[in-house]
Structure 1
Amino acid sequence: MKLLRGFLWLLGFQLLGHAIVELLTLPVSHVMAGLLLLLAWLLAKRRLNESVATASQALIPLLAMLIMPGVVGVFFVIDEFAGQWTAIMAALGVGTFLSVLTTLWLMRRFMPQEAAGAEERERKP
């Protein structure tokens, strides 16, 4: 039941994001607006909803499948990128680097200290 409740929470924030973007005609993805609303809600509550955590954990193994439609969609508009490959490659390189850097910083910031110590001990021979 927690899983279903969590999916309903996630879907509710996605629909709320969709409604806000459409009403205010914002130049933002509907899903991204929903995720930002979810983030604001979680920050306001100052704790993670157990149902949302359960649903999120179930979605992590499916992440590649969730990204695939956007990647496939690029092949249908590839002609529009004709003279812009340098800018695209630079954006991908900088974006990937910043994404990895942000993930590393967040992991070090929020990982419990005992877990971080255990990882350090495993790396040392």
Structure 2
Amino acid sequence: MMKNKKIAKSIFKSILIYLTGIIFLIPIIWVFSLSLRSKKDALAAMFFTKDIHFENYVKAWQTFGFTRLYLNSLAVTVLSVFVTLVIAALAAYSFSRLRYKGSNIIFYITAILYYCITYCLSIPLPKTMRNVASFMI
């Protein structure tokens, strides 16, 4: 009886995980589907289009200079990840191995600031998205 409950619980968890994954993938699939449509089909309420237009990617790449933008993003990302890893590794070692006066306070301040940064970055996000949306129209 206990084994059946474990199996049922495992199946329920698996189904829940798959459904959550599908729900999170729907907007990504929708945006990809929109990128393959023509301008006149973009506002249609269908999920997939009949005519596929890969030239939208070529036009976007050539019009906006994505090569330069991609290289800039790559440089910023690599540098940011490297600096973050070095600082995080040193901080993790300090928090886990070294005991000094105020180490707990510094740890808690670091944890609080980590979460505050997320909130501070999310404040201008709606304004940025509004500007992007007005640019696209």
TM-score range, shorter chain: 0.3 to 0.5
Does 1 or 2 have the higher relative contact order (CA < 8 Å, sep 6+)?
1
Q: TM-score, normalised by structure 1?
A: 0.36
Query: Rg: which structure is higher?
Result: 2
